[in-house]
Amino acid sequence: MPPGSGQKGVVPLELLFDLVFAFAVSQLSDHLLNHLTWRGVAETLVMLLAILMVWSYTSWVAIILGPEHSKTRWMMLIVMLPALFLNASVTKAFTLYGWTFATPLLLIQLGRIAWTLLNAPDQFYREHYYRVLIWFTLATPFWVIGTVEGSEARLAWWSAAVGIDLVGTWLAHPIPGRKLRSVNVPFDADHMLDRCRQFVIIALGETVVRTGTAIAGAPETGMTLATGLSALVGTVALWALSFGSTHRQVMRHLDKSKDPIRTSRYAVNANMGIIAGLIAVAVGNKVVIANPEGPTSWALSLLLAGGPILFLASQGWYLWLVPKVRPRLHWIGGLGLFLAGLVTQALPTYGALILVGSWLMILAIADEKIVPLRGGHH
């Protein structure tokens, strides 16, 4: 049995490791806030996915080998150094200094994969990380070419690189003609899901920080009170939706699952959409509090309503595919947010924020009180 299969609970080093990525979430929010264009959204998404894969791959390896193991501790500590520089380079990754993002990324990913191959606890994991190495080797030239080609062409090259890595992650890095089944393979899925929830807390924390800094920089008026309160209500609602009945459904499934690796892999995939949605919410809150009486643009509606839609869609997708629960509340919630996004075009920005925050709170209350709305199996 792999060393990590019996571990329970997040250890202090994992929390320290996460602080480096809390900084990444802040940097990504800054980049999106300063580049509120379609290209800026795409740049932020590409960097977010790359950074989340660094976090998730490293966290996964730590669980396989056991986060208390001395080799694992050293691996995580070593990864933290280039990860800090990776995250610090987010705001200049699409300038002349793209190498400051790509270099630490490649060092971490290729170095950690090689280290894992040397320290894999059994043949199953050795075979799996051999596949991961093949997939990431395919993506590496796109990172390098994008860095060399310059800032204008970089987005296309890096998008291709992230796309290859993302497809590999979603499909468990398949190789034609060679099957690798994860059923009944020991893995501490409870620990991995705890790690995913920890990252959701980081992203929720970013919405609180952005709301707080926006309030601190705004005039002391009733409008600031109203918008700040609405932003906080929306954040609390998203927290409740994260740790309410969805969490309970997943835990019940986990208790009887024979494939903890699949349960964890899908959780990592869903977390990417959840984190992206929360970053959009954080930036939208800050924009509204800073300018509450301006007209609502489509870009702002995309942040305020689209962010929670992505959050709910990612959660609902996971519920549908893993515990096999019909996520009706998520469907209803997403439809309501879509309609709210259309309606808000006729409202000032404060009206848009209040409308979205109120609807999210209604969903959170329904999630807690009207559990049968989400019940039932396929």
- Express each pLDDT in 107-134 by its tens digit: 999 999 999 999 998 888 999 999 999 9
Distance CA 104, CA 137 (A): 15
Average pLDDT over residues 365-369: 87
- Structure-block tokens of residue 360: 């999210």
Amino acid identity, position 21: F
Average pLDDT over residues 291-319: 93
Q: Is the pTM for the entire model greater than 0.85?
A: yes
Which residue has 């690798």 as its token pair? Answer: 180
- Into which CATH architecture does domain 189-374 fall? Up-down Bundle (1.20)
Examine the pLDDT at 6 and tell me if it is beyond 70: no
Average pLDDT over residues 229-238: 97
Higher pLDDT, 315 or 177: 315
347 and 288 Cβ atoms separated by less than 8 Å: no
Distance CA 182, CA 103 (A): 32
Which residues are bridge partners to 325 per DSSP? 377
Amino acid identity, position 301: S
Per-residue model confidence as pLDDT tens digits over 92-106: 999 999 999 999 999
Q: What is the DSSP letter of 172?
A: T
Distance CA 100, CA 90 (A): 9
323 and 253 Cβ atoms separated by less than 8 Å: yes
C-alpha 244 chain-centroid distance: 18
The predicted structure's pLDDT at residue 374: 41
Among 86-90, 112-116, 349-353, 372-376, the range scoring the smallest mean pLDDT is 372-376
Domain extents for the chain?
3-171, 189-374
What residues contact 38, with CB distance under 8 A and at least 6 apart?
A: none
Average pLDDT, the chain: 91
Average pLDDT over residues 201-227: 95
The predicted structure's pLDDT at residue 8: 58
What residues contact 118, with CB distance under 8 A and at least 6 apart?
A: none
The predicted structure's pLDDT at residue 184: 80
Examine the pLDDT at 370 and tell me if it is beyond 60: no
Distance CA 77, CA 80 (A): 5
Per-residue model confidence as pLDDT tens digits over 9-39: 789 999 999 999 999 999 999 999 999 999 9
Examine the pLDDT at 299 and tell me if it is beyond 80: yes
Distance CA 222, CA 242 (A): 30
What residues contact 141, with CB distance under 8 A and at least 6 apart?
A: none
Distance CA 261, CA 309 (A): 27
At residue 259, the 3 state secondary structure works out as coil
Distance CA 343, CA 354 (A): 12
Examine the pLDDT at 348 and tell me if it is beyond 80: yes
Higher pLDDT, 251 or 317: 317
The predicted structure's pLDDT at residue 376: 44
Distance CA 322, CA 246 (A): 11
Distance CA 35, CA 148 (A): 23
Contacts 24+ apart (CB under 8 A), 208-215: 208/232, 208/235, 209/26, 209/282, 210/29, 210/282, 210/283, 210/285, 210/286, 211/235, 211/282, 211/285, 211/286, 211/289, 213/286, 214/285, 214/286, 214/289, 214/290, 215/289
- Structure-block tokens of residue 373: 């709305």
207 and 282 Cβ atoms separated by less than 8 Å: yes
- Structure-block tokens of residue 293: 């009486």
Distance CA 85, CA 83 (A): 5
